[in-house]
Amino acid sequence: MKKNGSYFSITLLVLVLSLLIGGILSLIIGLRYDEFIWISPYITILDSISLGIAVLLSLYFTRYLAARSKSAILMLLLSFGLMLGAGMITFITFFFLNPTAFFYSDNRTVTYLLINLLFFISINIITSGFVIFQQTVLEKEKALNEEKGLKTQMELKLLASKINPHFLFNSLNLMVSLLSQPDKAETALINLSEILRYQLDFSDAQTVSLGSELSVVEKYLSIQQMRFGEKLTYQVDCHTEAQIPPMIIQPLVENCIKHNIDFTEHLHIDLKITNENGQVVITILDSQAILNPAMLDKGVGLTVTRRRVEYLGGIFLIKNGGIEISFKS
């Protein structure tokens, strides 16, 4: 509805301007002669309306063709043909009304019709050229945005793929340490296989449910708790449902264990997810709380996850020795 209203406004504006231009030109041409003779208003109105409609049709067809054809010459020829056709309609009409006028060299109306036609052709060439230029710029911007989008997707996949071997390497070490405890090793192996299946199934997904992501994180924490026993405890506190990028939380939890477990008698990890003012806020805080911005480029999991969060429009912060990431819900 709004689009139709916009077209109507543009049409009305072009026709009013056409009448205004035609009236001014007829006045100027009439004044150029020794005796002022007002050019017939019927001819002025007919010529201006015809040329105004031709300008509108030319703009419409130029915009239509510009999105489908690369030939600027074809579009300009079509515009010129429309304007010439509109001008010929007025000439033929005038000839039938006054057939002897073309035999007099000083006829004001013929002069007016020629000058008005040339004036409108000039305007139409300028406007059509602008439409073609605008469409060309839009096409280039569209191609650039598509290329940028593909590049971003490739970079995100590259970043995500860096996590997989890192996580797998740590998990295989864990399997070795549990070989002396078959029951725990079997449970850990099942959890590991489900984590790897999750990575394979959702490697191309842009988002996953928060429940799916937390299920994988808890499997990972369960595996690590089997290894470290009472030395490691954790609590998961979630009060919302949302869609988040896959494999975002697990590398951060892994980072807590990797950099702290050997330097404390007991490590506790708190994972809290809330929804605050339309933002999903994920907080990962361990009992050591020693994380600082200088550590961002030292660990693979932490660095890669930060870059993924920022690529996807999220916010990555280090607060109170822990990590807070947020996405629009």
Does residue 105 register a pLDDT over 50? no
d(CA 116, CA 28): 11
Would you say 283 and 270 are in contact if contact means Cβ atoms under 8 Å apart? yes
Give yes or no for residue 245 having a pLDDT over 70: yes
What secondary structure letter does DSSP report for 232?
E
Q: How much is the pLDDT for 286?
A: 94
Paired with 244 in beta bridges are 208
Q: What is the pLDDT of residues 55-67, one digit of tens each?
A: 878 777 777 777 6
DSSP state of 287: S
Average pLDDT over residues 57-78: 73
pLDDT of 192 reads 85
Compute the distance between CA of residue 251 and CA of residue 167 in angstroms, rounded to an integer.
Answer: 8
pLDDT above 90 (res 165): no
More confident residue, 296 or 276: 276
Quickly state the pLDDT bin for 288 (edges 50, 70, 90): very high
pLDDT at 5 over 80: no
Separation CA 98–CA 136 (nearest Å)? 46
Question: Can you tell me the mean pLDDT for 66-77?
Answer: 69
Kindly report, residue by residue over 198-211, the tens digit of the pLDDT.
877 876 778 889 99
Is the C-alpha dihedral spanning 99, 103, 105, 106 positive or negative? negative
On whether the pTM is more than 0.75, the answer is: no
- Listed in sequence order, the residues at least 6 apart from 70 whose beta carbon sits closer than 8 Å to its beta carbon are none
Mean pLDDT of 254-270: 90
Host H or E run for residue 174: helix 108-177
Question: What is the C-alpha to C-alpha distance for residues 135 and 62, in angstroms, rounded to an integer?
Answer: 10
Q: What is the pLDDT of residue 163?
A: 52
Q: Give the end-to-end CA distance of the chain in Å, rounded to a whole number.
A: 31
For the stretch 114-159, pLDDT in tens is 787 887 887 777 777 777 777 778 877 877 776 665 556 556 555 5
Confidence of residue 217 (pLDDT cuts 50, 70, 90): very high
Distance CA 33, CA 80 (A): 30
Mean residue pLDDT across the chain: 78
Of residues 320 and 174, the one with the higher pLDDT is 320
What burial class does residue 174 get, using C-beta atoms within 10 Å of its C-beta: 0-12 exposed, 13-18 middle, 19+ buried? middle
**Digit-coded pLDDT (tens) for 22-43:** 777 777 776 666 555 566 676 7
What are the CB-based long-range contacts (under 8 Å, 24+) for 136-143?
Answer: 136/66
